[in-house]
Structure 1
């Protein structure tokens, strides 16, 4: 099965390099996306441009793909469920949640000029990055790309209620499934509260398991294709 892979802020398609052979060994073809404005050389991309890139990958897939979003890009993966509910096998979210209707996509950090650069590791100290060595942190930081403000401050809008029935797997890395259930029950994640086919799976890693646990992550994604 084709598995469309969408990394979070500051990362391009190469973030999945260690996951691709693991998926291939399990019988899948990974399709990593380098998002507009996030590694393709564009500097004026928008959130809608990134959604369009994900939908284009879904439309070009061989059969109905699984769409995987990491961190902020969980919203982009969920956009595939909203725009293509009958064309995908399901969605897997890694370490993040879809944004709420009519809120900003990822307005978490102050921009510098027209883009938001990687803020360094200090905001991610603790469970997010404890499993990363200093060498790995330096390597990942060197690969990051500033994200255009047109992306981070783009407004998310949901339109098709059928998205709530799409098979949805939430991979819980730096938080536990029980913590995720608390987030959902509290009303903080309305999109997941309304999901009718949600499964939560645990992964003992930090926020970037594609770098630290690629084989384990691939195994969970394989499981998501069989739902």
Structure 2
């Protein structure tokens, strides 16, 4: 894979229910370094799109690649892609289809997805979208630690329901070259030591981590949404990852 020592383009993608706005505080820190950082809203998460509930993982992966093209990302000038939480499904598709366009992937409290995975296989067929659940319904790995009442209120007010097709679509991955893309895991709600042990033991949520060829980890203890609980520290972690050339 071609790498470059010049400042790469950084593309930030938030997880379920979130758009580009979720990265505002992190972008404030990154842009002080004159980094070329861009946050995007995935198809299906634009509240003004009347067809958003029909969007698929393929639509989302295509949108990421289209953004790459507009930003001039190429094999000679690959991007850093930062994926939070459920953005791991479309980003895993991008890595499978065009690994040469990604200099490094930074998973934020997230990680690569195994072939055949479905995020919510049991989602009822008649359910066209999944709204943001009550906060007390989140599982332990989706910790709200560090979030202020103001942040929670903003999350609730701006969240967009996740499209049903995105949650039901099995992930088709065929290109082993995706595992050669240099990878940084920013571990927040689960410490890196615990996550790596789960990967080694074959835990289905982390099994793909064990197959990565170039991996480093950064511990950032906080809840599942570090872009709000520790935005400056998350920006620094992204800087560190982006500066690596392996």
TM-score interval for Structure 1 and Structure 2 normalised by the shorter chain = over 0.9
**Map of 1:75-154 to 2, 5 A cutoff?**
75-104=89-118, 106-107=119-120, 110=123, 113-124=127-138, 128-154=143-169
Aligned to 1:202: 219
Extract structure 1 runs of 4+ deviating beyond 6 A.
none
Tell me, what secondary structure is at the counterpart of 1:91? Answer: strand
Q: CA deviation at 1:139?
A: 1.4
Of 158, 176, 191, the match for 2:191? 176
Question: How big is the shift at 1:103?
Answer: 1.8
Verify the 8 A CA contact 1:35 1:53 in the aligned structure 2.
yes
* Separation in 1, partners of 2:122, 2:42: 19
Say if 1:165 and 1:125 are closer, same or farther in 2 by CA, change over 3 A. Answer: closer
Q: What value does the CA root-mean-square deviation take over the aligned residues?
A: 1.8
Check 1:27–1:98 CA distance in 2 against 1; reply closer, same or farther (3 A cut).
same
Listed as ranges, the gaps of 5+ residues in structure 2 are 1-7
Maintained 8 Å contact 1:74/1:94? no
More displaced stretch, 110-119 vs 87-96: 110-119
Distance across 2 between alignment mates of 1:160 and 1:186: 24
Provide the aligned length of Structure 1 versus Structure 2. Answer: 226
Give deviations 1:102-132, integer Å, cap 9, x for gaps. Answer: 121x217846731011012113376711211
Unaligned runs of at least 5 residues, structure 1: none
The aligned counterpart of 2:59 is 49
Q: 2:186–2:217: 8 Å Cα contact kept in structure 1?
A: yes
* Structure possessing the higher radius of gyration over alpha carbons: 2
SS of the residue 2:196 aligns to: helix
In 2: Cα distance, 1:109 partner to 1:213 partner: 33
Alpha-carbon shift at residue 75 of structure 1 (Å) = 2.6
TM-score, L = length of structure 2: 0.86
Cα distance, 1:18 vs structure 2: 0.8
What is the CA-CA distance between 1:59 and the residue it aligns to?
2.7
**Are residues 113 and 126 of structure 1, via their aligned partners in 2, closer, same or farther at CA, if it must alter by over 3 Å?**
closer
Partner of 1:34: 41
